[in-house]
Structure 1
Amino acid sequence: MKTLTIIILLNLLAITSARSQDISGHWNGTTKRGDKEITFVFNIKQENATYSTTMDVPTFRIAGIKPSATTFTNGKLIIDGSNVGMNYTGVFNTEAQQFEGIYKEGGIEMVLNLKKGTIKIEDSKRPQEPVKPYPYYEEEVIFKNNEANITLAGTLTLPNKNGKFPVVILISGSGPQDRDESFMGHKPFLVLSDYLTRQGIGVLRFDDRGVGESTGNFGKATTEDFSKDVLSAIAYLKTRNDVDIKNIGLIGHSEGGIIAPLAANNSKDVAFMVLLASTGISGTELSVMQSKTLREFPVKDEVAYEKNTRKAIAIVISNKSKTEIKIELTTHYNEFLRPILTSLNVPEKNINAFIENQLKTSLQPWSRYFLQYNPADEIEKLQIPVLSLNGSKDTQVNAKINQEAIRQALIKGQNKNYKIVELENLNHFFQECETGKMDEYRKIEQTFSPIALNEIKNWVIEHLK
């Protein structure tokens, strides 16, 4: 879900030049987060008087991130990635021939200097990732969300080039994700799609809007908007002769698990659904829970902390104007968070950056929608077969609390065909793990537990019409 989770998800540049200097080309730099070196690559292209750029983070095998805007004036480069939760500001050092600056994300600041030139980085594949040639048909596809006037790009895999096959649509979790849901050096959707396609089930996976080859602005979209992207994917599949339109299913991971019911309830063409690490409680309750379990600093009074967290949420979802909300929220964060962080000897500039990031995140359309959205309301309406899987060591989405909420919603809606399973020792990404904590994800070589893969495959095959 959208938490302080993803340590690095990045962005890039669209640049307005106030000089004759042409900064188009590849720029790269390496910074450190703890003991981990992180490499960034920015590919800047000049288009008339402006620049456009895509950004890759090879360390985490993330590519194609698109920041909302970038300016280059008097040697100063500002990359505004507020749509993906980051910012970079650098000044060009003529002598060193590099941009020297600061990268910010989620309250974290890191020194990042960028030099011009390409670098070669070995792509260390995880053991479960498939190697071409694949024993099935693969096609790069594009389809439109006409309502949003955007184009979505993805990959369709089918057991064979000839025939008519059931197809599942993979729906990614929160944050800007590519079609493989690349995260912490893993590609879970690539592994899942390969596994299912080898078992006779077609798979469509696609880049989120504003990511990779897809157009649109990710930062301005809500959970409801993403559900309409899924509806566009369904409409596209219905145009193909090689898709069994009676057997189109949705598989949603994390936030994708709350997008899926919303999409299914606005379509007559979804035959079944799989929820992976999905929530069953409201965005407000999930956020309150995560603010305590995922918090990176201690507090003396947990009761007071929760009370102040709920007050912040109430301000965010109020009917006041954005300006009024920002003023009130700024005051509240300064009264609530600043004393806690000051008592922990956090430098003032870091406190300011943290509060600034909290403000930006809270004021995004996604946050305001998510905090007021209760997936149980949509799950209750589902009259199609539903499988819900959660890992017992998921530290982002508590399995017992959320599965019980999902179960009660299905019972209330009188759904007669569902299965809810808590899988032992699996984390939020369904890796076999020790602690389930987020800093463990990239250390684990396994991308997707075979036990979870088998559960999904068996259930889907059993529910094909």
Structure 2
Amino acid sequence: MRQLKTLLLMVIIFSVTPILSQSNREFISIDMTVKSVSSTIEGTLFTPDSTAVLPLIIIVPGSGKVTRSQITPMVKGIFNGILTNIFVYDKRGVGDSTGDYIGMNAETSAERIPIRTQVVLDIVDFLYEKPFIDKERIGLMGSSQGGWISPLAAYRSSKISFAICISGVACSVGVSDYFSDLVKETSIEMATDKLNSYNGVQGYDPSEALQNVDIPILWIYGGKDKSNPTFYDLKILEDLKEKMNKDFTIHFYENYNHDMVDETTGEFGKEVIPALRNWYLNLLKT
């Protein structure tokens, strides 16, 4: 799974109007160390007001050796002007964090996605005890591979109250990898049609987590995604909404790819950030 590199770059220059004004205050940064899975995870909390009790969003990176310095411009751009805490971290074995970095494929994902999820859970437990965190409003924002991890973490912890998944995945790792191989030689539509006949290694399957998670989740998808099977995933999520009354909000953009770039213009999709911000602000009002 690719990390959303374009999202990280484009958000830096994406202009949004501040809502719930911070009176033009800069984010205050606080470096923190979290012990997890025989390693130390180095992260940074960004807050607009270190004296206030505010909601928290933990950014869950996708695949690849992603550091918090790469993620920081994205989160500052997205949440500029919103009174919320944001936590970013160096993945295990990356940047200043210790431990072994672990990549994954279908064969190893059933073991390794839970390891990455445990890191998120340990971060949640660590920050939950801080006096400046609103314990009732702790959420995750995961992109790509982080879209597997965020619902699983929410399923395993009652401390997580919402999630945002950008180009996340609702099918197994094996199905997703099969799709990304197929689409190299055929259309998205034809590749999607073949997924029901896949009988290879499934690897990590998010179905249990998705069926049992009980929080609002925002899902953001692009119809031109060649990494994840958007239309296959949408069917899974729509079925869960209809049959199990899941609190899923789905934003679908027909011409956007995995990186949320509009393939008709070559530019970052202009609807994504305002829609994400509005969903989050409405969530905070409830």
TM-score normalised per structure 2: 0.80
Q: Is the 8 A contact 1:258 1:375 kept in 2?
A: yes
Residue 431 of structure 1 pairs with residue 251 of structure 2: no
Q: 1:452 aligns with which of 272, 276, 280?
A: 272
Q: 1:157 aligns with which of 34, 38, 46?
A: 46
Matches within 5 A, 1:224-263: 224-263=114-153
Q: Which amino acid aligns with 1:224?
A: P
Alignment match, 1:91:
none
Q: 1:178 aligns with which of 59, 67, 73?
A: 67
CA 1:276/1:289 → structure 2, altered by over 3 Å: closer, same or farther?
Answer: same
Q: 1:408 aligns with which of 214, 239, 255?
A: 239
The alpha-carbon deviation at position 134 of structure 1 amounts to 6.6
CA 1:126/1:458 → structure 2, altered by over 3 Å: closer, same or farther?
Answer: closer
Q: Is the 8 A contact 1:158 1:197 kept in 2?
A: no
CA 1:393/1:192 → structure 2, altered by over 3 Å: closer, same or farther?
Answer: farther
Residue 135 of structure 1 pairs with residue 21 of structure 2: no
Question: In 2, Cα distance between the equivalents of 1:426 and 1:171?
Answer: 21
CA 1:291/1:408 → structure 2, altered by over 3 Å: closer, same or farther?
Answer: same
Question: In 1, Cα distance between the equivalents of 2:241 and 2:100?
Answer: 34
Q: Is the 8 A contact 2:161 2:215 kept in 1?
A: yes
Q: Which amino acid aligns with 2:26?
A: P
Alignment match, 2:179:
289
The alpha-carbon deviation at position 126 of structure 1 amounts to 5.7
Q: Which amino acid aligns with 2:184?
A: L
Greater helix proportion: 2
Tell me which structure has the larger Cα radius of gyration.
1
Q: Is the 8 A contact 2:25 2:48 kept in 1?
A: no
Alignment match, 1:196:
79
SS in 2 for 1:405: helix
* Aligned alpha-carbon RMSD (Å): 3.2
Question: In 1, Cα distance between the equivalents of 2:88 and 2:243?
Answer: 32
Q: Is the 8 A contact 1:382 1:413 kept in 2?
A: no
Q: Deviations over 1:92-143 (max 9, x none)?
A: xxxxxxxxxxxxxxxxxxxxxxxxxxxxxxxxx963499xx97222222221
SS in 1 for 2:79: helix
Q: Where does the alignment leave 5 or more consecutive residues of structure 1 unmatched?
A: 10-59, 61-124, 315-370, 436-443
Question: In 1, Cα distance between the equivalents of 2:241 and 2:213?
Answer: 7
Greater strand proportion: 1
The alpha-carbon deviation at position 411 of structure 1 amounts to 3.5
Question: In 1, Cα distance between the equivalents of 2:167 and 2:79?
Answer: 18
The alpha-carbon deviation at position 433 of structure 1 amounts to 3.1
Question: In 2, Cα distance between the equivalents of 1:432 and 1:138?
Answer: 33
Alignment match, 1:206:
89
CA 1:393/1:284 → structure 2, altered by over 3 Å: closer, same or farther?
Answer: same
Q: Where does the alignment leave 5 or more consecutive residues of structure 2 unmatched?
A: 17-23, 104-110
Q: Deviations over 1:362-396 (max 9, x none)?
A: xxxxxxxxx32221321111111111111222221
CA 1:225/1:129 → structure 2, altered by over 3 Å: closer, same or farther?
Answer: farther
SS in 2 for 1:273: strand
Q: 1:379 aligns with which of 197, 205, 210?
A: 210
The alpha-carbon deviation at position 434 of structure 1 amounts to 3.6
Alignment match, 1:419:
249
Q: Is the 8 A contact 2:174 2:203 kept in 1?
A: yes
The alpha-carbon deviation at position 197 of structure 1 amounts to 4.4
CA 1:226/1:425 → structure 2, altered by over 3 Å: closer, same or farther?
Answer: same
CA 1:149/1:272 → structure 2, altered by over 3 Å: closer, same or farther?
Answer: same
Q: Is the 8 A contact 2:176 2:227 kept in 1?
A: no
Question: In 2, Cα distance between the equivalents of 1:432 and 1:276?
Answer: 15
CA 1:233/1:449 → structure 2, altered by over 3 Å: closer, same or farther?
Answer: farther
